[in-house]
Structure 1
C-alpha cells in the first residue's frame, strides 16, 4: 500500500462505520478507558442505513422497545413501531449523549485494509488516496453492506425516466399523478407500496417471489405507558421476555435430532401456508391477485414483513401486480418476457443489498491479513466462518461486529452490543498485558466453527432443502445459512462476555 511510515499508528483503535454497531463500539471503548480511537463513516452523519434510508413509509419492523441499546433505553417512542426519522434521531442522540462526535470522521470511506506484521498494525487505504494506520480495527459496517446498484436487468442505462432507490430517495420528486413501477417485494417495497399508492396515478409492483406480509397494528404509545416505561427494569423485562421466546425456538431447532425436525418443519410450513391463504381471502378481493400473492414456501425462509397496508393496496384500482418476468428496461419503461412494454415516469429499484452472509460481498483485496490471507478469497474457498462470528486467526487485531453466524433472532442493537463487548474485552486485555498483537488461536476457531456448523443442521435443511426453491439471503450462494447463529441469544451473550483469553494469542513487538 505504498511507502510505510516508521512512526506509531495514527490511532490505537479505528472503528469502520458509524451505524448501530459503530456507536456500540464507541461506547464500549469509552467505558473501557480507551481514548485514542476514531470512527470512520462514509456518510455525513451517524445511523448507518437509518441515515441513508428515508423513503416513504419507512418504519422499524420489530417493536421499538426491542430496537435500541440496553445502555440507552428510550421511554418516549411515539409508536409501537417507530418511524425511520425517529430511529435516526435516536442514534444521533445516543452518539451525542455518550460523547462520540469528537471521535467521528465523516465523509471517509475505507477502500482496503492490510496487516503489517512487522509493525503489528493495520494500514487502511481511504477513498481519497490517503492512508491511516491503526493498532486495532473494529469493522462495524453492518449486515446490509451496500445497496445493489445493478438490479441484474439489461438496459438500465437506456431508461430515460426517474430512477429511485430506497437508500438514495429524492424527497423533492413530485409523485402526484405519476406512472410508477416498483421492482421487488422485499421489506422496503412492502413499506413504499402503500405509502405512495394513494398519491401516484398508477403503481405496478413487479414481483419475482411472493412475500409473507402480516398486518402490523401501529398505535401511538399513550402517555401512561411511556410513564411506566420510565420505571427501572420495565423495558428490560418486556424485552427480555421476548428474547427468551426467540432463544427457546432457536435452541429447540438446533438441538432436536434431524429425523424429528424434518417432519415437524414440513408440518409447520404447510399449516402456515394454509393459514396465510386464509388471511389473503380476508384482505385481498381479487381471487387471481390473491393466488399470485400466496407464497409456496415457509414463513421464515425469507425475511418476513409486517405492514397492514401492503396487501390492502392491491384492492386499489390504480395498483397492479405484475408477475411476468422483466426482460429489460426500455427508454420509457419496462418490457416483460411476454413482449408487453409498460411506460413509467418513475421506477423504484427495491432490489436489495449486498449482505454480510454472502461470500460475494467480500471483494478480493479488500482485507488482507497475516501471510497474505485475503478475506474475500478465504471465504470463497472455505466458506464463511469466524470465531464467535467476530475473529479469524489470519486477521490479528481485527474484529467484525456482524460476521458469519452472528444474528441471534434479536434486534440488531442487542447483538452488536455483545460483539462490540467481545472486541473491546480482547483489546483491553492486550493493553493490560502490553501486547501489540492479538490473534484468535486456530484450534479455538476451528472448534467453535465445528460446533456452530453442527448446530446449524436443521436451519440448513429448512433453507437449502425444504425451501430450496425460494431465493433468500438467509441461504448464501454456497448453500449455507451463515446469517443466523443457531445456538441462540443467551449462549452468544455469555460467550462474547466470557470467552477465555486462552483462546487468543497475545504477542508484543520487540523493544
Structure 2
C-alpha cells in the first residue's frame, strides 16, 4: 500500500494533485451539423470533459438538414464528404442527394452519442465572457416554449458554420408579388411547380441544381443572371461515368464493405483528385490557363455554341475567382425551348412578375430566390469577450479577421470551425473541419491540465497572419475582378473565404498548434502550480512505472 503523500494542503504555489491531472471542464458547442458531430466524436477521448450542444433545428444535419430544394445534392463525390474515420461504403450515388447525406450524419450521431449531448430547437442568442468567473455566459432561447435561460462553460466552440443565415435578396417590390415566393434555403416542400411560370433569381450552387430539376415540368422558366459563373464538369468526374446521376451497384457497395483495403484506396484516390485541383487557383499558372480553356470549351459545347448565350454566360474573370460550380444538365436546360435567360438587371418586382431595367416585364406564378446566405462570417448574435469587445460588432464594422480560421483576438477560450479563411473551396473540406476540432481540443486539454483560466490569441499574431494572407492572395484567382462572397460581396475586398494555400497545407499548419501565438492567464500567481505533488499519473494510479521503455 502506497504511503500517503506529504502534500496535505494546497497553496497558491503547490497543488495537491499530480502533474497534468485534467481538471473537470465544461464546453458549450453551437451547432449539430458536421462540425458538431466531429466534436462530439473526438471529445470522447478527453478525460473530465462534459459538453452541451445547442442546435436551432429539430435534428442533426446543419445546412444539409435545412436544404430540401429540388435537386439538392453534394457537388463533390460523396466518398470525400465523410470523416476520415467514418467512410460510408453504402453511398448509392457518386454525388449523394441531400437527404442521403443527412441520413448518414444522423446515423453517425446516433452511433457516437451526439443526441444525448444535444438540445434541439435551442438557439444561442447571446454570449458574454465573465472575467471574474472565467466562464462564458450564454443566453439560450428555447424555440418551442419561447423561454430563455443562461448556461455557462469554460470553453465556447462556435460550430454554427457560414451557410446557415439565409436572407431575401434586396429587391424593390419583393413583398408586392402576389404569386408564390420561396427561397432555396427555406423551401416549401408542398410547392407544386408543374405547369407554372417560374422565375429563378441567381446562378449559384442552388440555382444550378434547381433549374435542370424543375425545367422539364414547368410551363416557362425565366433564369435571372446578375453575372456569369464558371460551370464545370463534376469534380473528380472520372469516378462518375454517367455524370451526376452515376450510381453505385450493389456489387460495388458490397466490395466496399467486404474489402477494406480496396475501399481505403478508392477513397484516397478521390481525395487526391479533389486536392489535385489546387494549382489551378494560382492566378498565372499553366493549370489556370488550361482550366479556363477547358471549361470555356465545355460551356460552349453545352450551350449549343449559341453565340448570344455564350457571350452572356461565359465569364471573363479567372477560373475560381468565384466558386467554380459543377452543373450537370444546367447549361443544357438553359437552351430548352421553355427557358428564357435574362441577364438584364432586375429593376423591381411587381404584383405579377419581375421587371428589368430595360423595361421588360416577365410575368410569373412563382419566384424562386436562389440567392444563398449571408456569408460575411459576422456572428448572428453578440459575442462579447475581454474588455467588452463584441465580435459581432467588430467584424461587422471592420470585416471578419480571424486567426488561422479557428479563433479571434479578445475572445478567451473561444474556438471556431469553418471560420474566416477556412479551406472551403481549396479541396476536400471535411478533413479540414476535423483538424479545426483537433485544434480546439488541444487547447481544451491545455486549459484542463495547466491550471489555466483562459487562453486568447494575440492581436500581433492575428495581424501578422492576415498580413501574410492578404499578400499571398494577390497571386490567387480569388482576388480576380469579380464580385464574390469570398470577398464579402465586393470586387476588391480582402479574401475572407478560402484558406491561403491547399488543404494539405492547412492540415500541416494546424497539425501542431502554435501555442506561442497565445497569451495565458493562470489560476494562480505561479504558472508551474500544475506540476502539483511531484508525481505523474502512473504513480498516482498505481500503474507500471517503467512503461516508457519501448
- Cα deviation, 1:408-454, whole Å, max 9, x if unaligned, reads 62333221111011101110121122323222344444444444444
Query: 5 Å matches for 1:127-166?
Result: 127=141, 128-149=147-168, 151-166=169-184
Q: CA RMSD in A?
A: 2.6
Distance change >3 Å, CA 437–CA 152, structure 1 → 2: same
User: Which residue of 2 is the match for residue 475 of structure 1?
Assistant: 487
Distance change >3 Å, CA 455–CA 238, structure 1 → 2: farther
User: Which residue of 2 is the match for residue 125 of structure 1?
Assistant: 139
Distance change >3 Å, CA 498–CA 236, structure 1 → 2: farther
Distance change >3 Å, CA 440–CA 269, structure 1 → 2: closer
User: Which residue of 1 is the match for residue 394 of structure 2?
Assistant: 378
Distance across 2 between alignment mates of 1:333 and 1:53: 25
User: Which residue of 1 is the match for residue 252 of structure 2?
Assistant: 225
- Cα deviation, 1:338-379, whole Å, max 9, x if unaligned, reads 222222111101011111xx26x346x711110111213433
Q: Which runs of 5+ in 2 are unaligned?
A: 1-23, 142-146, 235-242, 526-550
Q: Which moved more, 1:42-51 or 1:481-490?
A: 481-490
Distance across 1 between alignment mates of 2:274 and 2:94: 19
User: Which residue of 1 is the match for residue 337 of structure 2?
Assistant: 317
2:45 pairs, out of 21, 31, 34, with 31
- Give the superposition deviation at 1:393: 3.2
Query: 5 Å matches for 1:168-187?
Result: 168-187=186-205
User: Which residue of 1 is the match for residue 206 of structure 2?
Assistant: 188
Say which one has the larger Rg. Answer: 2
User: Which residue of 2 is the match for residue 439 of structure 1?
Assistant: 456
1:12 aligns with 2:13: no
Query: 5 Å matches for 1:78-477?
Result: 78-127=92-141, 128-149=147-168, 151-216=169-234, 217-218=243-244, 219-230=246-257, 231-241=259-269, 243=271, 250=278, 264-265=284-285, 272-285=291-304, 286-355=306-375, 358=376, 361-362=378-379, 366-379=382-395, 383-407=399-423, 409-459=426-476, 462-464=477-479, 467-468=480-481, 470-476=482-488, 477=490
| Higher normalized helix content (fraction of residues) | 1
User: Which residue of 2 is the match for residue 74 of structure 1?
Assistant: 88
User: Which residue of 2 is the match for residue 258 of structure 1?
Assistant: none
- Cα deviation, 1:227-284, whole Å, max 9, x if unaligned, reads 343333544444445555665665x689xxxxxx66x25x765654454443234223
Aligned positions, number = 483
Q: Is the 8 A contact 2:387 2:410 kept in 1?
A: yes
TM-score by length of 2: 0.81
1:65 pairs, out of 66, 72, 79, with 79
- Cα deviation, 1:460-493, whole Å, max 9, x if unaligned, reads xx333xx32x221122347111211123223322
User: Which residue of 2 is the match for residue 257 of structure 1?
Assistant: none
Distance across 2 between alignment mates of 1:62 and 1:189: 16
Distance change >3 Å, CA 278–CA 489, structure 1 → 2: closer
Distance change >3 Å, CA 505–CA 284, structure 1 → 2: closer
Q: Is the 8 A contact 1:178 1:200 kept in 2?
A: yes
User: Which residue of 1 is the match for residue 5 of structure 2?
Assistant: none
Distance across 2 between alignment mates of 1:436 and 1:70: 33
Distance change >3 Å, CA 87–CA 154, structure 1 → 2: same
Q: Which runs of 5+ in 1 are unaligned?
A: 1-9, 255-260
Distance across 2 between alignment mates of 1:233 and 1:393: 44
Q: Which moved more, 1:184-193 or 1:334-343?
A: 334-343
Q: Which moved more, 1:500-509 or 1:186-195?
A: 500-509
TM-score by length of 1: 0.87
User: Which residue of 2 is the match for residue 4 of structure 1?
Assistant: none
Q: Which moved more, 1:366-375 or 1:271-280?
A: 271-280
- Cα deviation, 1:67-106, whole Å, max 9, x if unaligned, reads 0111211011111111111001011011111011010111
Distance across 2 between alignment mates of 1:184 and 1:424: 39
